[in-house]
Amino acid sequence: MLIISCIKQVPDTTQVKIDPVTNTLIRDGIPFIINPYDSHALEESLRLKDRYGMRTVALSMGPPNTVATLRKAYAIGVDEAILLTDRCFGGADTLATSKVLAAAIERLTQKEEVGIVFCGKQTIDGDTAQVGPGIASRLGFSQLTLVDRIESIDFLRKTIKVRRKLEGRHEIVEAPLPVMITVVRELNRPRYPVVAMRLEAEEKEIKVWDNSVLQLDVETVGLKGSPTWVSKIFSPERDQGEIIGDGISDPVGTASLLIDKLLSKDLLTV
Amino acid sequence: MPLQQTVFIIIFAVSVFSFLFSCYQRLQLVAIGAPENRFDNPWARLLGVFSYAFAQRRVLARPYGFNHFLLFWAFIVLLLANAEFLIEGLISDFSLAALLPVALGHGLKLLFDIVSVVALGCVLVAFVRRLFFSPEYLGTDYTRPASGEALLILAMIATLMIAFFLLNAAHIALGQEVSWRPISSALAVLLQGLRGETLQGLAQVAWWIHALVLLLFMNFLPRSKHMHILTAIPNCYFKSLEKPNTQPRETFEKGARYGVSSVEQYSWKDLFDSLTCTECGRCQDLCPAHSTSKPLNPRKIVHDIKINLLKNGLARKEGATGSLPLIGAAKEGTICEEAIWSCTTCGACTSVCPALIEQMPKIVKLRRHLVQEKAQFPEELLNLFENMEQRSNPWGIAPSERTKWSGQLGDRTFKPGETEYLFFVGCAGAFDNRNKHVTVALATIMDAAGVSWGMLGKEEQCCGDSVRRLGNEFVFERMAKANVSLLKEKKVTKIVTQCPHCFNTLKNDYKQYGLEIEVLHHSQLIDQLAKTGRLKLHQQSGQGKVIFHDSCYLGRHNDTYEAPRAVLQAATGRLPGEFGRNRENGFCCGAGGGRMWLEEQSGSRINLERVKEAMAQQPDTLCVSCPYCMTMMEDGLKDLGLGDKVRVKDIAEVTAEALR
């Protein structure tokens, strides 16, 4: 059984600034990182590999420099890394992105039974949380979002039971395989690569699939296949905060003041 | 040949064989260690032997060391006396005195007699100390001050001395010897009343006791902590000529191993160290982790390596798995992970060890294995490592924020060929809000003195100190290479830092990457500027009582103790007050060795211990010279509710205030 993790290389958003004139992200000189939620998706696939011996594939759509991120996936232990890159895939919104990713997964299912597709719950650059569900819908997979724990996998009945982290509550649900799971940070702690595997990762082959492999209609992918257009990006004005209490002379009283305040604004759940 | 002599020759031969065999066995174990070149620069090494072994420099650093100094020299002198004794036993009618000019023969007799009584006195002092006045640090969980082994060896030495006197006294009483032995002669007076036969018998018994105990003693050496009698002198010869904190680089290639997970991966010198430990406990006494009840004790690390070597060494040599893991749940011969992560790399252990054992580097080697081969480390470090790799600073703040502090200074870019000093601001100086004040203070001082200085600005990267001490050599190597090539590209020839960790890394570690330029800590630069009159300071007394806390990376790791004190004297008009433990004996703030980024899970907090020590001096201002010390001292004072009473200031801040 194959486990796929979809990962995206994103600009390190703590370092991204918005160009006030063009309303676009200034990406010059900004380092790329693996989308943090995706690193938890990757980690979970590796944990299942460690536990059940399943084969793992890391899949990423992006420009050719995405190989750097896929090498990191090799360094922590995925069996295969595939880059989906083609000029015609560029400029894609979530609809077009999920189409390409779904096509790649479809291609993998022809050779091997795909059990689980892991995605991060969202990316830190787009924050839409739509690609994972998009993939699931296109492939007809069960869709389990915001998962913070894998409860069990029943290989005979081919079902998976997970815990979803919702606002103020958890939900335990079961679904038939194959399944698309989006993960939250609480799911696991990503591993750190050991040196030997980092060195090996430098030499490993990253498969590149372009549109000559996937054979998609160019009108349905990339910019052309993306109905979304961005009219403006801006940082919202933030209201000035306030200082309550005196944390130095009365830490306990101040803490309860703060809790009351947060409760009154519905920012805390009892 | 008399029967006695025959018997002695046989016993002697067996003893010598057994002694040599034990030594061979031990050295064979040492030989399984990894290669390391400790044979270069013989003159510097001989100088080390003279200073540390024969002059007992480190031993004498503590008052009781004088007793050991006397005993050491008594042993050296008595080596000759015992050689004479043994040869006399092997060859009939041998007499050393007969071979020497008469005066010299008499002189030697006098010397042996006096030295023997000194040795006996020293042994008595040692007995009394171990039994009644033993310092806490003599004991630990694998031994105690009055351990059987320690007392046995003392008893043996005492017996040797007493037998020596009895033997000589009997001979003198029999009139067989012209006395040049005052103590033996005095004893002979007491024996005067005895009959000749009794005296003969006494002499014979004394001779045999002396002979047997001597051979027993010799055989006991390699099997006990007294192995140091044989190994301490060579250990001084093989000392690290570099600062022990600057560890050898590792080679990153396919199939290579990193750090140490099994005893034979240690270098032969590490293993030799383990056989040299005298169990004096001084490292344990000064270790900040041990003092605050963490599971780390540098002396136990060395002991565990020894036990592991003795148990696993032969198996490992033959490629078999040893029965005792080197890293694992703590037991004798196995080091637990918490101990490994507790080290602040302050270097107190390495700087206090009389036998020049390098304890701390052995811990970093274990970290190198855990991080690079196992990716097994305290949770907090995952963030640190990622921040270092992605944003080249420990906090993970955007590199574009690096120059935020310098807004009002205008363009201070380092211009190759024009600017004299590169001000390597460092991560704390650039990102930590409190330490930005120190950065500004130093910039102000350099401007006031007319120093030509510039910065790398957003191009500056972290020096990599924390990752190196934490064992992440792979990431450190990348950072070091990038920094060295940038510094070379900018044609930097002089660097000033405000952080002892940047200072130490740029100055010492980067030498391994081909960077050999002048690196100054700001205390050194300010001291120079004040001394040469380029900096005009108005000595001000507004700081109240000032006390100075030594940074380990400035002091112990770079022997810079006086510069920061001189700066404070120039700025305040008098030398700062001192902690009870200062300079070489200084006590870490708790943040070195990457501990800045780790929680203190067990025991009490190191910074609180240090702040309490400061309060004994009732200071108004606690002066530091390191951003980590700044954070730890401020936090410690706040935790004790003393944040308003005592200010923590960097020496640069105090100096900048004296400019006004």
Q: If we measure between CA atoms, which residue out of B503, B489, B479 comes closest to residue B456?
A: B489
Confidence of residue A29 (pLDDT cuts 50, 70, 90): low
Confidence of residue B30 (pLDDT cuts 50, 70, 90): very high
Taking an 8 Å cut-off on Cβ atoms, the answer to whether A194 and B253 are in contact is: no
Chain A interface includes B390 (CB < 8 A): yes
CA B562 to chain centre: 20
In this prediction, residues B426-453 reach a mean pLDDT of: 96
Half-sphere exposure of B57 (CA within 13 A, CB side): 11
- Mapped onto helix, strand or coil, the DSSP state of residue A236 is coil
Calculated CA dihedral for residues B197, B201, B207, B210, nearest 10 degrees: -140
Confidence of residue B538 (pLDDT cuts 50, 70, 90): confident
- The whole-number pLDDT of residue A25 equals 66
- The whole-number pLDDT of residue B316 equals 82
Cα separation, B524 vs B1, whole angstroms: 74
pLDDT exceeds 90 at position B629: yes
Chain A interface includes B474 (CB < 8 A): yes
| Contact residues on chain A for B377, CB-CB shorter than 8 A | 192
Chain A interface includes B251 (CB < 8 A): no
Taking an 8 Å cut-off on Cβ atoms, the answer to whether A192 and B375 are in contact is: yes
| Contact residues on chain B for A31, CB-CB shorter than 8 A | 390-391
CB B178 within 8 A of CB B109: no
Ramachandran region of residue A200, left (φ > 0), alpha (ψ -120 to 50) or beta? alpha
Which residues 158-217 on chain A approach chain B with CB closer than 8 angstroms? 189-196, 198-200
Residue B87: in which H helix or E strand, if any?
helix B65-90
Question: Is residue A122 packed enough to be buried (19+ CB in 10 Å), middle (13-18) or exposed (0-12)?
Answer: buried
pLDDT exceeds 90 at position B102: no
Phi, psi of A114 (to 5 degrees): -90, 125
Lowest mean pLDDT among A215-229, B283-297, B414-428: A215-229
Mean pLDDT of chain B: 94
Taking an 8 Å cut-off on Cβ atoms, the answer to whether B254 and A190 are in contact is: no
- The whole-number pLDDT of residue B194 equals 87
Chain A interface includes B382 (CB < 8 A): yes
| Contact residues on chain B for A198, CB-CB shorter than 8 A | 474
Q: Which two tokens stand for residue B562?
A: 């006086």
Taking an 8 Å cut-off on Cβ atoms, the answer to whether A14 and B399 are in contact is: no
pLDDT exceeds 90 at position B32: yes
Q: Which two tokens stand for residue B573?
A: 């008009």
Chain B interface includes A157 (CB < 8 A): no
pLDDT exceeds 70 at position A39: yes
Confidence of residue A179 (pLDDT cuts 50, 70, 90): very high
Say which amino acid occupies B31: A
Taking an 8 Å cut-off on Cβ atoms, the answer to whether A15 and B399 are in contact is: yes
- The whole-number pLDDT of residue A23 equals 64
| Contact residues on chain B for A199, CB-CB shorter than 8 A | 252-254
CB B630 within 8 A of CB B651: no
High-pLDDT (> 70) share of chain A, %? 94
- The whole-number pLDDT of residue B239 equals 95
CB B394 within 8 A of CB B427: yes
pLDDT exceeds 80 at position B97: no
Architecture of domain A2-220: 3-Layer(aba) Sandwich (3.40)
Chain B interface includes A33 (CB < 8 A): yes
- Vertex A239: Cα angle to A233 and A242 (nearest 5): 150
pLDDT tens-digit profile of A146-177?
A: 999 999 999 999 999 999 999 889 999 999 99
| Contact residues on chain B for A17, CB-CB shorter than 8 A | 400
pLDDT exceeds 80 at position B337: yes
Cα separation, A108 vs A114, whole angstroms: 7
Q: Predicted ipTM?
A: 0.87
Cα separation, B404 vs B457, whole angstroms: 9
pLDDT tens-digit profile of B567-582?
A: 999 999 999 999 999 9
Between residues A43 and A253, which one has the greater pLDDT?
A43
Domains and CATH numbers, chain B: 3-30+62-237 (1.20.950), 263-374 (1.10.1060.10), 383-657 (no CATH)
pLDDT exceeds 70 at position A22: no
In this prediction, residues A73-78 reach a mean pLDDT of: 96
Closest residue on chain A to B402 (Cα): A15
Phi, psi of A180 (to 5 degrees): -110, 125
pLDDT tens-digit profile of B179-199?
A: 789 999 999 999 888 888 999
- The whole-number pLDDT of residue A12 equals 82
Phi, psi of B274 (to 5 degrees): -65, -30
- The whole-number pLDDT of residue B177 equals 74
Q: What is the DSSP letter of A62?
A: S
Cα separation, B568 vs B571, whole angstroms: 5
CB A11 within 8 A of CB A25: yes
Confidence of residue B313 (pLDDT cuts 50, 70, 90): confident
Closest residue on chain A to B257 (Cα): A196
- The whole-number pLDDT of residue A243 equals 81
**Extents of the domains making up chain A:** 2-220, 242-270
pLDDT exceeds 80 at position B445: yes
Beta bridge partners of B334: B331
Beta bridge partners of B624: B650
* Closest residue to B382, CB basis, from A17, A189, A194: A189
Say which amino acid occupies A49: K
pLDDT tens-digit profile of B514-528?
A: 999 999 999 999 999
Calculated CA dihedral for residues B600, B604, B607, B612, nearest 10 degrees: 170
CB B338 within 8 A of CB B322: no
Taking an 8 Å cut-off on Cβ atoms, the answer to whether A192 and B385 are in contact is: yes
Mutation target vs A (from B367, B382, B388, B390; most A CBs, 10 A cutoff) = B390
Q: If we measure between CA atoms, which residue out of B497, B624, B507, B513 comes closest to residue B558?
A: B507
- The whole-number pLDDT of residue A263 equals 84
- The whole-number pLDDT of residue B399 equals 86
